[in-house]
Structure 1
Amino acid sequence: MDVDDTPVLDNHMHLDPTEGRNIDAVEDFVSAGGTHLLVLNKPSWHLREAATDEATFEDVFELTIDAAADAREVLPGRAWPVLGVHPGLISRLIDDGYTPAEARDIMQTGLDVAAGYVADGPALAIKSGRPHYDVEEDVWEASNAVMCHAFDLASEVGCAVQLHTEGSEDLTEITEWAQDEGLPPEQVVKHYSGGRLRGPIKSVIADKDELEVAVESDEPFLMETDFIDDPDRPGAVLGPKTVPRRVRWMLDQGWEDAVRRAHVETPARVYGIDTEATLDR
């Protein structure tokens, strides 16, 4: 089996149609064997400003929807937008003078807007989470309330939530919160995950060591680069060719079942997408 014989999905890539490489990055992905993308909106302050109202969130989301549509023209498969609010926004808002409660309400409004795009069709899933750095207790509580609001919305509109959180090998408490809001654990995805994680579905950063752990675990997982499309940091976090190259390496190791798990079975299970039926090489 060769990389040309399978769908290849990068579960978390950013595209910046204003300042970044955008379609050039997608073409790099395709040239290495990539077929499908989940395109995450960059933090609002990277595209416009720290969002404080619906209009700014909508502007950022529309840019991402357009970028995914443009990517679709280049890909042999599909690109789907994943829209939401970066958990670091809470710190930006507090630095600008908002209270944690006010920041929470602004971020929940952004998630309401994102869920509307899922309900109306352009977007596939919601992005949320909590800071991966130390914050005051009231900021932590507000961030958890934002995340639980995302779970509630996702349950209502019937989609998954991609999470940006602290690094951990056990986030079962988070999936329990999701279940309390009516969202099954298999629709909770930990972005930038290691190969070993309890609770959410792993979206494993495309590092060979972490992928080997994920393969051996025999559990559902996805693969990602977290490519940030920042001209000042080319190739960060990982370059757009990395996931297809890692798939090629996995196939060389004889891990065909794991490749299918990551690029066909888990995307279907988590997002309800068919990466085979949407592939036209």
Structure 2
Amino acid sequence: MDIEETPVLDNHMHLDPVQGRNVEAVEEFAEQGGTHLLVLNKPSWHLVEAATDESTFREAFDLTVGAVESATEVLPGRAWPVLGVHPALVSKLVEDGYTPAAARDIMQTGLDVAAEYVRDGPALAIKSGRPHYDVDEDVWDASNAVMCHAFELAADGDFAVQLHTEGGEDFEQVAQWAEERGMDRRQVVKHYSGGRLQGPTKSVLADKDELEIAIEEGDPFLMETDYIDDPDRPGAVLGPKTVPRRVRWLLEAGHEEAVRTAHVETPRAVYGIDTEATLTE
């Protein structure tokens, strides 16, 4: 199989219509063979300011929805927004004098708004999680409450949640929390995952070694760059060309089945999207 014969989805990329490369990065992705993108809003303080109310969340989300519309125009397939609240917002708010409980409430409001964007059409899924760095116990508890609120919203609306969390391989408890709230654990996606993961669906950072582990493990997986579209850090985390290049590498190594898993079957199972049909529309 040649790369032209398959959809190529980057499951987690940021675009910055305020100060980033934005559509230029998408054009690079497409030139290498990329077809579909899931675009996550950058943290509100990178686009507007640290969100403390509904209107600021909407402003950040609307910027991302606009960036996605522009991205879709240059893709052979299309892009979808995934909107939500970066878990580091809790620390920003606590530093600004909010209690962890007040920060929790603000962040849950942001998720309520993100869920509305999914229900009303422009967004595909929401994003939540918990800090990937050490925090006080009350901040950790508030963060877990925010994440569980995301699961409740997703169960109610039947859509997926992408998680930004600490590293590690065992997230069985998190998957159970989602199931207790009515979600299918397959629709819980651990962004920035390695090749091994217990619990949610893994979105594997497109590193050759981790992809080989993911293929060996045999579970459903997605591929991502976590490209952050920051002019001061042009290739961070991975550049927009990386996923198509890794797909080409996998196909050359005979991993056609794994490519189909990551770019057709898992996106359909997790998000209900058809990356093949949207290529020919």
TM-score over 0.5 for the pair: yes
Report the CA distance between 1:157 and its aligned residue. 1.0
Q: Distance in 2 between matches of 1:103 and 1:122?
A: 26
CA RMSD of aligned residues (A): 0.7
Give the alignment of 1:1-281 within 5 angstroms: 1-280=1-280
Q: Distance in 2 between matches of 1:280 and 1:230?
A: 32
What is the aligned-residue identity percentage? 74
> Structure 1, residues 193-241: CA drift from partner, whole Å, max 9, x if none?
0000000000000000000000111110000000000001001000000
Q: Distance in 2 between matches of 1:148 and 1:69?
A: 30
Q: Distance in 2 between matches of 1:259 and 1:276?
A: 13
> Structure 1, residues 90-147: CA drift from partner, whole Å, max 9, x if none?
0000000000000000000000000000010110000000000000000000000000
Q: Distance in 2 between matches of 1:250 and 1:103?
A: 43
The amino acid across from 1:160 in the alignment is A
1:279 is paired with a residue whose SS is helix
Q: Distance in 1 between matches of 2:8 and 2:213?
A: 19
Q: For this pair of structures, how many residues does the alignment match? A: 281
The amino acid across from 2:249 in the alignment is W
Report the CA distance between 1:45 and its aligned residue. 0.4
Q: Distance in 2 between matches of 1:182 and 1:122?
A: 24
Q: Distance in 1 between matches of 2:213 and 2:2?
A: 22
Q: Distance in 1 between matches of 2:55 and 2:234?
A: 30
What TM-score results when the alignment is normalised by the length of structure 2? 0.99
Report the CA distance between 1:158 and its aligned residue. 1.1
1:278 is paired with a residue whose SS is helix
Q: Distance in 2 between matches of 1:252 and 1:14?
A: 28
Report the CA distance between 1:280 and its aligned residue. 3.3
Q: Distance in 1 between matches of 2:48 and 2:166?
A: 25
4+ residue runs over 6 A deviation: none
The amino acid across from 1:25 in the alignment is A
Q: Distance in 2 between matches of 1:122 and 1:49?
A: 22
Which runs of no fewer than 5 residues in structure 2 stay unpaired?
Answer: none
> Structure 1, residues 245-276: CA drift from partner, whole Å, max 9, x if none?
00000001100000000000000000000000
2:142 is paired with a residue whose SS is helix
Q: Distance in 1 between matches of 2:148 and 2:81?
A: 21
